[in-house]
Amino acid sequence: MCARINAMTPSRSNIRLTEGERYFSQNLRERRVEQGLSQDALAELMQEQGFEGFNQMTVSRLEKGTRPVRLSEARALAFLLQTSTEQMSMPTEEVSAINDVFAAADAIETLYASVADLKIDAVNQRAVGQDALRRFDEFIGSDQLILPPRTRHKLSESRRIIQEFVDGGHHEFVREVDRHVSEHFGFRESGDGEH
């Protein structure tokens, strides 16, 4: 009777996974490694999500494709690996392409935000410069303040730089930022101001 039960029980190597489950197995390992997680660490995170009995061996079997993934496990694993069950169930190259698109879009948004911050900083620096000029004229500009010649020369040069920036240099600075970004990305300004 024992032999008959064993003959009826499918071996782990004979488990047939769907195409999505096979991709899930491949992507599970890749995403886990990308996240810097060991199989043990991922199993612990799954246990914290309420999957008692989920251990390193379970992760290993899922990654090898010798155990099908349950829907609730797939959702939890995707969440823990910061992706979706849909992406986990796609071919690796497609997932990689999707992640590349997301990463590129994030980098461009960050660049635009940085450029916008740089422009705002230029406008804010103009106000700081105006205050510095006022303080220079009030406390330093008179010849009555005795300063070493080198210091007076450096102060005069600094005042000139600030004055140029305040008098319109900040606009030139913003135009230069725009020009460099346009050259780098190959944008051409059209007549209606769109890039």
The domain that holds 75 is classified in CATH as 1.10.260.40
> Tens of pLDDT along 14-49?
578 788 888 899 899 999 999 999 999 999 999 999
Interatomic CA distance for residues 144 and 147, integer angstroms: 9
Whether 132 and 53 share a structural domain: no
Q: Is the dihedral of CA 23, 24, 26, 31 positive or negative?
A: positive
What's the rounded mean pLDDT across residues 113-133?
Answer: 90
pTM above 0.75, yes or no: no
The residue behind tokens 């303040």 is: 145
Contact 23, 88 (CB under 8 A): yes
Confidence at residue 77, expressed as pLDDT on a 0 to 100 scale: 96
Whether 34 and 73 share a structural domain: yes
Contact 76, 62 (CB under 8 A): no
Whether 9 and 86 share a structural domain: yes
- Whether 96 is covered by a domain: the verdict is no
Confidence at residue 170, expressed as pLDDT on a 0 to 100 scale: 81
The DSSP secondary-structure symbol of 16 reads: P
Number of independent structural domains in the chain: 2
Whether 147 and 79 share a structural domain: no
Confidence at residue 59, expressed as pLDDT on a 0 to 100 scale: 96
Whether 149 and 75 share a structural domain: no
Of 73, 69, 67, nearest in space to 13 by CA: 67
- Whether 192 is covered by a domain: the verdict is no
* 90, 109, 132 - which closes a domain: 90
Confidence at residue 186, expressed as pLDDT on a 0 to 100 scale: 66
- Whether 126 is covered by a domain: the verdict is yes
The residue segments making up the domain with residue 82 are 2-90
